Chain A
Amino acid sequence: DQQVKQNSPSLSVQEGRISILNCDYTNSMFDYFLWYKKYPAEGPTFLISISSIKDKNEDGRFTVFLNKSAKHLSLHIVPSQPGDSAVYFCAARESGGSNYKLTFGKGTLLTVNP
């Protein structure tokens, strides 16, 4: 049973436009959410995170929005650049005893076209 879902396997956008990557979750015990970026044959790198007590977190071109009632978060990249082309993973951490583990979605491949 997938607790973190990224329903779009891929997304293609034009350079300079906005990229919106979506993530849904089912576990109401998740209290912290992270986005990772991954290039082929490399390890993921941390991008941005958000605590469940917030609904928005911004870092440069990257903004994450959290809608707790809908159990939905999204990553906005503005403006998109060709170097942003990568797989983006949404991850969630559970509060309490399992808070050392992250649950990952299956990822969304973002392609930014010049």
Chain B
Amino acid sequence: DGGITQSPKYLFRKEGQNVTLSCEQNLNHDAMYWYRQDPGQGLRLIYYSQIVNDFQKGDIAEGYSVSREKKESFPLTVTSAQKNPTAFYLCASMDRAHYNEQFFGPGTRLTVL
């Protein structure tokens, strides 16, 4: 059963702590993405990666970091430098051979207290 998994569904952290959000896909997709959704803001691109060991900043990369050591995995770290980290985070992947549609995971709701 192919798909994208994000864990956990809900995450709570204290202010000032770094936190890493997991994203795993078994679709054999080359490209992976991280988005943030805030009420009334749509989906904003944080980072994306087209191939292993390579990634680029999106529109709102400040305060975030990523790694892409394996094709299946694209973890996102929300650092203490991110001023407003509380949001719904979505991971997506895409097959570069058919680069028309991105498939999304179920999302992680991060709340920083």
Contact = CB atoms under 8 A, between A and B. Distances in A.
Interface of A: 6, 9, 32, 34, 36, 41-46, 49, 89, 93, 99-102, 104-107
Nearest to B30: A100
Chain B interface category by residue count: 20 to 34
B96 A100 contact: yes
B42 A104 contact: yes
Interface in B80-108: 88, 90, 92, 94, 96, 99-107
Interface of B: 4, 6, 9, 31, 33, 35, 40-45, 48, 50, 58, 88, 90, 92, 94, 96, 99-107, 109
Contacts, number: 55
B42 A49 contact: no
Contact of A104 (B43, B106, B109): B43
Q: Which of B42, B44, B48 has the most CB of A within 10 A?
A: B42
Given A6-B42, A9-B40, 7 more contacts: A43-B90, A43-B105, A44-B43, A49-B101, A100-B94, A105-B42, A107-B42
